[in-house]
Amino acid sequence: MDAKTPCIAEAARRLLRTDGTSLIVPENLFDEALQLSLAISDGIPSLIREPTVSIGPSDRIEVEGLSLIGGEEPSTTICWIPTTSETLHSLWLRWSVQIHDLMRAGYPGCVGCGGPGSEGVWDETASRARTRVN
């Protein structure tokens, strides 16, 4: 486990507990993002609308208004996972695995299955202090 693991889990939880989000990914991840959106739709039938997927900048993966992997530092209301373009795909893979693991555990409809830190209030400022890329 590294410093990014908790924020990857938080970004996954935010996606899974929010109905009708927008997932914006680089073009090279578009097909994988569509598959992920369908898996979420199948895995969490209580969601009315699964995430919509669109193509965005090549330096980030964004769940609009909720989380950002890569890109420029957003406001502290957004769960941010800093990265470089060289590691963006590896973080996508980690995040996707986390999403699938949470769905298999029954998240968000379960108690205590969201992993460490899922029951408390997320501290984005502390997370950024741990994960900042220099």
pLDDT category at 119 given cuts 50, 70, 90 is low
Q: Is the pTM of this model over 0.85?
A: yes
Q: Average pLDDT, whole number, for the chain?
A: 88
Task: Return the sign of the alpha-carbon dihedral for residues 117, 36, 111, 13.
Answer: positive
Residue 1 has pLDDT above 80, yes or no: no
Give the whole-angstrom CA distance, residue 61 versus residue 41.
19
pLDDT category at 3 given cuts 50, 70, 90 is confident
Q: Are 123 and 22 in contact (CB under 8 A)?
A: no
Residue 85 has pLDDT above 80, yes or no: no
| pLDDT value of position 133 | 55
Give 40-81 pLDDT, tens digit per residue. 998 887 777 889 999 999 999 999 999 999 999 999 999 999
Strand 60-63 with 52-55, pairing: unpaired
